[in-house]
Structure 1
Amino acid sequence: MKTWIGLTVIATSLSVFGQAPKATAPVAPHRSSTHAEPSTQIGSPLPMEVSTSVEPHYRGMNASAIFDVLHRNIGVIKASEYETKTQFDARLQRIMSLPLFDGHKVGDQYTFALGGAWAGERSFSSEGGDPLSYLRGAIQTSYNSESQILTVTLPIVTGMASGMYDMAFGWGYDVRTVGHHVGQNAFGVKMAVTDSVIHEQTLDFNDADIAWLESHCEQESARSDVKCKVPVSAARARAMDGSIRVALGSTLKEPYTAEDSGTQKATIDSPYENHEVRHGLFISPNQLVIYDGRTGEVVAQYIK
């Protein structure tokens, strides 16, 4: 397993929201177990074409739970040096037809919501002045009252793999305290250290996977944030303030999952030792729905 220092990535992804979190005091856990029975944990996808609304408080599907099922039952799928492209493609077709949970197959449509929290979780609040707004698939919104345009921004973070798959949307971020110990630096100074585990879940893809969005949304460069501009009246924008969500319809694609980990050691200024795990779920987006997370009202819908 390669070493991944997660906070370097997080600092990049969080820079648009403010100061990125250093090894700070962990916040109480908010994410329910992803190892529970899939039938109660994973959720349901949206149809490829939605009408004027989705279910109120729609939260999409649980990417962490889907990662767990895929990683446990299928693992990381890569081409072998002993198989031709035709043979590998045939193997992928067989994998796509495999049952995953509740009648869903690997090759089916999945929907992941960005913004808000998974059902049963509390919102992740920041402590100590660290604006952790990337948590739970953060999105940004701004409104121009002169042009009456609502801008919804989907931040791009660094992907799990090199090569084509080098971009991702952040879906979830979880910090939990697991213990304490006494640490000592090179000068013999002792300090109480808090041990925490950080789990990050991303939705990984490549630039070709979202190229179809160019006709609907803006992206300054291949790895810059995606910005969708929607005409919305001031009254409507005010009513939806703080509740805008983005549903990302997608299919899963090889290598399907990736896992990486690393540790950030404590220092005198930051006495927190963070053990970090990052899970990547590989997707190919084909639908983007902007909606009001409270009422379910659809603001805009783009389909590949």
Structure 2
Amino acid sequence: MSEKDFRTQEMVVGSIQVGIRHRRDLGDLQPLMDSISRLGLLQPITVTPAGVLVCGHRRLEAIKRLGWRSTRVWVRSNISDTLTALLAQQDENNLRKPLSPLEAATLYRELKDLLAEDARRRQEASRFGGDTNGGELNGGRDSRPPHSPGRHENKTVTQAANMVTGDDSSQRLERILKLRAVMDDAARPLVIRRMAEAELDRIDAGEPVAPAYTRVMTAIREAEQAARDPAEPTEPPARPTPEEIAELSRLALEKAKAERTRRIELISRAHQPEQPVLRSPKALVLAWRELDGWTRHYDVHQVADDLSDEELAMVQRVLRDSAEFIQAVAAVRAADPSDAA
């Protein structure tokens, strides 16, 4: 996360959206209100480009009670659409489709990083802003700067887990992330990486996390032990014949195709169509500004070689839908000159 991902702007307090994920007992806000009245809001709250609250629920509620009409905010630009939609949920009866375990873990990691960044900024603000209470009055339970790395980390992971899943499932989510890291680690043996991938598939299909995590960690320890204490050398196996190589290749290809089909079916059953979340025009402009000039960063031949048929069809669909949408926008502007103005 870099400084370029943030920008500061003034925002009307009433326009900031607070979703269902932030609802909880805010505690006694009077000390925080007194601190803000005396010192000002040393650390701005953090929002998405669409004005959805990410960090600083107590600070927002305190300035509302103080009657502030506007406030300075940090706008965090590089937030995933899925996390934005999760944070913006307003009604428990209209929640999006249930997250898969891997989706929940990915959002947990993203939100944990955002909360840690907010805590770091708050700590710096309290250090140089004259707050003599270690940041306590300038943030409270959902935003207090850390007194030690361990306390800071524990607080952040717990809060992130609660906002994503509704309970303190941080240990479960951390284990899923560890399995994902093992799967993506090119330095590990291929058999270990494939094992982690298979266990993640089982978790997404509804199986518990703890046994899967234990199996992979046990396999890693055994592989490391075998590397430290190699067995006595044995006779090398006989070289396979060309016919045997061809048959093994055919079987491996069939197995890979069957596994891919099974995973696609699992994902299709777990994900049902959802009502799209409407975003602000500013978010649209920001998204396309980040894509401006993207074609210069890719090689046509490499993309042609690496993309699957499904991935290519998805990109073509997105481009087609985007062109149709912008043409519709242009048609509306042409029909009503006041819109263009």
Alignment TM-score > 0.5, same fold:
no
Q: TM-score scaled by structure 2? A: 0.22
| Pair member with larger Rg | 2
Relative CO higher for 1 or 2, CA cutoff 8 Å, sep ≥ 6? 1
Greater per-residue helix proportion: 2
Q: TM-score scaled by structure 1? A: 0.24
